[in-house]
């Protein structure tokens, strides 16, 4: 007589592409029997937020690394394409699997889909199990004293810090328990994930997708930069940040692993956190948690402002898209803004301080809707995460939870001078003005003609003049904000 636990278990992989500290794998190991890891390419399930070009590039390489690691342990990564419910139903029927396990996701479209999937699989006779593999604290488990979701980060994070942390758990087996017959799988290349026309050809110079790459990135950061993180995280020309965001998004590393590794430093130092830099770094992990908390409780925020009065904000008209294209291409005439947008296009990533600068420029200097910026970031960032992307853009536009007030307008020249005083960042990404002295690098239109000529800079030709005047744009943004306040019902 065949016992249920002798039948295969399908582990459905999504944004949890790792083998260590992977609770769905751990549950399958504890259950016993063969384990069939499955990835299903089903972009239609994401609704209007289908994976962008840069994240598809990362996904391709992450799956390749994961598949190779599973094979080294004697297993296989089964890849399917199509409707997830249909594919899982077919796999259960073809393999005789008696269970399907996965790690939870928290995006609005996915939460509803997963609930329906559980019911359908159970009708088919398969046990289902979902687990938290992505967050320190799941959104539904955190509430304020009034029993409502938090909307301000500081009390949210203070509450989270008071809660016990889940330890790093087990994951996949070293020696894979394989089924008698592996189900059919499509080739990874058949999914067509890699961008065409060579757009992402430089991405590999800057990123190492996969679980091993994530562990390497964390180790290097903790050894090199965590203690100076508070001071250097705002300097785009320095290697002062962890750059773990894409690894976290794809689940190649868990926040539990990051917390435990940072805590281990504290044990060595005899105090936790081991430095103020480590404390600030962990608070950034907290901001990621907060973003998922907000998206779960306010599912409209990827497209609608949390502060509903901003639905009436008088955004500027850009009928031909000329202003938006200039911003996208890094041709605004403001070097720190252009450097950030070019870094994004070339590498699929942008330094966080510069993300705030370019976002402020779009929604306040150009006064274009924050949704246009969110859409561009979604397609071009390798770490495009619906929760973090929505939080970041609503923060910049002043219309979200715990947001920067709209009247706080980042001055791009000041931001450039303050955080890239030596010009390392701008000179790297805007090489046509690299010959300008530091004094004029962040405002080339103010440089004397002879200095521009000596540097080979011809404004309006080799480099554009300012797309808008800072003071004029700032005044117009503040006037629009006042118009919004007057229009309150």
Same structural domain for residues 330 and 474?
A: yes
Let me know if 287 is a catalytic residue. yes
- Domain-located, residue 71: yes
Question: Of 252, 423, 105, which Cα lies nearest the Cα of 243?
Answer: 252
Our count of domains for the chain comes to 3
CA dist 161 and 127 (Å) reads 34
Cβ-based neighbour number of residue 321 at 10 Å: 11
- The confidence score (pLDDT) of residue 489 equals 59
- Domain-located, residue 155: yes
Tracing tokens 């919004």 back to the chain, one arrives at: 484
- Domain-located, residue 205: no
Same structural domain for residues 344 and 449?
A: yes
Same structural domain for residues 128 and 159?
A: no
Q: What pTM was estimated for this model as a whole?
A: 0.96
Question: Of 213, 202, 272, 275, which Cα lies nearest the Cα of 242?
Answer: 213
Same structural domain for residues 268 and 374?
A: no
Let me know if 315 is a catalytic residue. yes
CA dist 426 and 436 (Å) reads 11
Let me know if 393 is a catalytic residue. yes
| Domain boundary pick from 266, 297, 328 | 297
Query: Which CATH number does the domain housing residue 231 bear?
Result: 1.25.40.80
Q: Beta strands of 351-420 (E only): which ranges?
A: none
Percent residues over pLDDT 70 in the chain: 99
Handedness of CA 445, 446, 450, 452 (dihedral sign): negative
Same structural domain for residues 332 and 375?
A: yes
- Domain-located, residue 177: no
Question: Which residue is catalytic, options 176, 259, 315, 445?
Answer: 315
Let me know if 12 is a catalytic residue. no
**DSSP per residue over 212-242, as a string?**
HHHHHHHHHHHHHTGGGHHHHTT-TTS--S-
Query: Which CATH number does the domain housing residue 434 bear?
Result: 1.10.579.10
- Domain-located, residue 475: yes
Q: Indicate the length of the chain as a whole number.
A: 489
Same structural domain for residues 338 and 478?
A: yes
CA dist 413 and 467 (Å) reads 13
- The confidence score (pLDDT) of residue 197 equals 73
Q: What are the beta bridge partners of residue 35? A: 9
Same structural domain for residues 92 and 8?
A: yes
- Domain-located, residue 185: no
| Domain boundary pick from 297, 327, 343 | 297
Let me know if 199 is a catalytic residue. no
Same structural domain for residues 86 and 161?
A: no
| Domain boundary pick from 90, 115, 133 | 133
Structural domain of residue 82, as residue ranges? Answer: 4-133
Mapping DSSP to helix (H, G, I), strand (E, B) and coil, where does residue 382 land?
coil
Let me know if 182 is a catalytic residue. no
Burial group, residue 472, by CB count within 10 angstroms (0-12, 13-18, 19+): exposed
- Domain-located, residue 98: yes
- The confidence score (pLDDT) of residue 2 equals 42
Question: Which residue is catalytic, options 102, 393, 395, 429?
Answer: 393
Query: Which CATH number does the domain housing residue 67 bear?
Result: 3.40.50.620
Q: What is the mean pLDDT of residues 37-45?
A: 96
**Residue 281 pLDDT greater than 90, yes or no:** yes
DSSP 3-state helix, strand, coil percentages of the chain (rounded to 5)?
50, 5, 40
Give 297's Cβ-side CA count (13 Å radius).
22
Same structural domain for residues 157 and 114?
A: no
Handedness of CA 318, 388, 401, 341 (dihedral sign): negative
Same structural domain for residues 261 and 376?
A: no
- The confidence score (pLDDT) of residue 327 equals 98
Q: pLDDT band at 273, cuts 50/70/90?
A: confident
Same structural domain for residues 274 and 396?
A: no
CA dist 467 and 238 (Å) reads 28
Same structural domain for residues 279 and 359?
A: no
- Complete edge-to-edge strand list for the sheet that includes strand 99-103: 78-81, 35-41, 9-13, 99-103, 127-131
**Residue 404 pLDDT greater than 80, yes or no:** no
Question: Which residue is catalytic, options 284, 304, 432, 445?
Answer: 284
- Domain-located, residue 198: no
């Amino acid at each position: 007589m065949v016992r249920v636990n002798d039948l295969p278990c399908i582990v459905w992989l999504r944004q949890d592409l790792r083998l260590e500290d992977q609770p769905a794998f751990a549950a399958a190991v504890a259950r016993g029997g063969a384990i069939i890891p499955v990835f299903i390419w089903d972009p239609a399930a994401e609704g209007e937020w289908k994976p962008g070009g840069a994240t598809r590039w990362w996904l391709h390489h992450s799956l390749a690394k994961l598949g190779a690691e599973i094979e080294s342990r004697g297993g296989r990564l089964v890849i399917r394409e199509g409707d997830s419910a249909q594919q899982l139903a077919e796999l259960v029927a073809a393999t005789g699997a008696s269970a399907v396990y996965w790690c939870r996701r928290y995006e609005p479209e996915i939460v509803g889909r997963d609930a329906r999937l559980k019911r359908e699989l159970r009708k088919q006779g398969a046990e289902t199990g979902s687990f938290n593999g992505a967050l320190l604290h799941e959104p539904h488990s955190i509430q304020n004293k009034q029993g409502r979701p938090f909307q301000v980060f500081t009390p949210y994070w203070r509450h989270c810090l008071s809660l016990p942390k889940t330890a790093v758990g087990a994951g996949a087996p070293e020696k894979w328990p394989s089924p008698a017959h592996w189900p059919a799988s499509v080739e990874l290349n058949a999914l067509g994930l890699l961008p065409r026309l060579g757009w992402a050809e430089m991405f590999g110079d800057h990123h190492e997708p996969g679980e091993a790459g994530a562990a390497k990135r964390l180790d290097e950061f903790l050894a090199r930069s965590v203690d100076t993180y508070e001071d250097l995280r705002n300097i785009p020309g320095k290697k002062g940040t962890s750059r773990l965001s894409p690894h976290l998004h794809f689940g190649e590393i868990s926040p539990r692993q990051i917390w435990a590794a940072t805590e281990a430093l504290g044990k060595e130092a005899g105090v936790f956190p081991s430095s103020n830099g480590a404390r600030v770094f962990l608070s950034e992990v907290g901001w990621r948690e907060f973003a998922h908390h907000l998206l779960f409780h306010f599912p409209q925020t990827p497209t609608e402002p949390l502060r509903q009065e901003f639905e009436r904000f008088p955004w500027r008209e850009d009928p031909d898209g000329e202003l938006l294209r200039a911003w996208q291409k890094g041709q605004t005439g403001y070097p720190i803004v252009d450097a950030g947008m070019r870094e994004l296009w070339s590498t699929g990533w942008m330094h966080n301080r510069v993300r705030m600068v370019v976002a402020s420029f779009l929604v306040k200097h150009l006064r274009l809707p924050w949704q246009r910026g969110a859409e561009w970031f979604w397609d071009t960032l390798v770490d495009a995460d619906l929760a973090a992307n929505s939080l970041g853009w609503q923060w910049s536009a002043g219309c979200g939870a715990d947001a920067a007030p709209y009247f706080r307008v980042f001055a791009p020249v000041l931001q450039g001078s303050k955080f890239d005083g030596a010009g390392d960042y701008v000179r790297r990404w805007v090489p046509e003005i690299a010959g300008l002295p530091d004094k004029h690098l962040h405002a080339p239109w103010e440089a004397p003609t002879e200095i521009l000529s000596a540097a080979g800079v011809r404004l309006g030709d080799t480099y554009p003049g300012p797309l808008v005047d800072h003071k004029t744009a700032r005044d117009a943004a503040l006037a629009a904000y006042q118009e919004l306040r007057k229009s309150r019902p």
